[in-house]
Amino acid sequence: MPFITTSDGAEIYYTDQGAGQPVILSHGWPLNSDAWQLELKMLADAGFRAIAHDRRGHGRSSQPWQGNDMDTYARDLAELVEALDLHDLILIGHSTGGGEVVRYAARHGGGRVSKIVTAGAVPPIMVKSERNPDGTPIEAFDGIRAGVLADRSQFYQDLSSAFFGANRDGAQVSQGARDDFWRQGMLVGLKAAHDCVKAFSETDFTEDLMALDVPIFIAHGDDDQIVPISDAAQKSIALVKHGTLKVYPGAPHGIAGAYQEELGRDILEFISA
């Protein structure tokens, strides 16, 4: 399996499929690059070089005690890009991965990045504070950490319901998709899973969004129960210079089913233009 070794010794797994203009896909918490299997094939079939990595602590990557924070995630991504010598790069990030690619592009990607796509992404900042009064209260994130520590297996099974909107009338997400969410979650190291909650909820990406100078397509479901659209995409679009926002009616946080099909078509249209 292909790995790079980062400057602090972490081993980062990645998959590399197809040939053409490179596209890197960054996954959400608590998943890994397997979450992008359909998109990897779609992109490679369309003539792109599709690459997805497992964030440190997740999936097949190593589980270092330190570095489970957004600055280090972005640095790891920068070192992967440099190791593969990627240019004219397209970035795609879901949820936590949306924050990772935005921070990478703003702080490391100058001259390398051509376009960005985010879906259900965490920027600009999730947690409620005096500066962000309509954010999600810190108690919600404390509850996630407590659930991970108490019984992570059951917690991931339960979380898959809201993640995919299975708790909504008429939901069509399969049990298999929910089981795969659990499977991927169980591959995350406990320390990484715990620390990443702070990374995705308390990191402020405001300045990163404002610094972006390339086109960005911001996708978000209006029934996202994990990253509410009103405190994420609808704020992010006001901060970027070259942004397009598309709202997917009734779509949940997890990318599956009809939402996945429509988003896939929109991604191809955006990156091929």
Which string of DSSP letters, residue by residue, matches 182-234?
A: HHHHTTS-HHHHHHHHHHHHH---HHHHHH--S-EEEEEETT-SSS-GGGTHH
**CA–CA separation, 256 vs 238, rounded Å?**
27
Asked if residue 141 has pLDDT above 70, the reply is yes
Proportion of the chain above pLDDT 70, given as a percent? 100
Active site residue 54: no
Of the residues 220, 224, 231, 236, only one is catalytic, namely 224
**240 Rama class: left (phi>0) / alpha (psi -120 to 50) / beta:** beta
Query: Could you tell me whether strands 3-5 and 89-94 are parallel, antiparallel, or unpaired per DSSP bridges?
Result: unpaired
Of the residues 26, 95, 160, 236, only one is catalytic, namely 95
52, 81, 164, 252 from 224: Cα distances, Å? 24, 31, 9, 4
> Where in the sequence is the domain holding 59, given as residue range(s)?
3-272
Sign of the CA dihedral running 134, 139, 143, 144: positive
Asked if residue 1 has pLDDT above 90, the reply is no
Q: How many domains does the chain have?
A: 1
Is 271 in contact with 117 (CB distance < 8 Å)? yes
Q: What is the mean pLDDT of residues 199-218?
A: 98
Condensed to tens digits (0 to 9), the pLDDT of residues 68-90 reads: 999 999 999 999 999 999 999 99
Return the closest-CA partner of residue 180 out of 33, 43, 55: 33
Query: Nearest 5°: phi and psi at 99?
Result: -65, -40
Is 157 in contact with 150 (CB distance < 8 Å)? no
Q: For residue 151, how many other CB atoms are within 10 A of its CB? A: 12
Residue with token string 């602590």: 57
Condensed to tens digits (0 to 9), the pLDDT of residues 170-207 reads: 998 999 999 999 999 999 999 999 999 999 999 999 99
Of the residues 58, 194, 220, 253, only one is catalytic, namely 253
Active site residue 253: yes
Proportion of the chain above pLDDT 90, given as a percent? 99
Asked if residue 169 has pLDDT above 80, the reply is yes
Query: Nearest 5°: phi and psi at 118?
Result: -125, 150
Domain harbouring 206, CATH code: 3.40.50.1820
**CA–CA separation, 159 vs 64, rounded Å?**
25
Is 54 in contact with 13 (CB distance < 8 Å)? yes
270 HSE (CA, 13 A, CB side): 26
> What type of residue is 131?
R
Active site residue 53: no
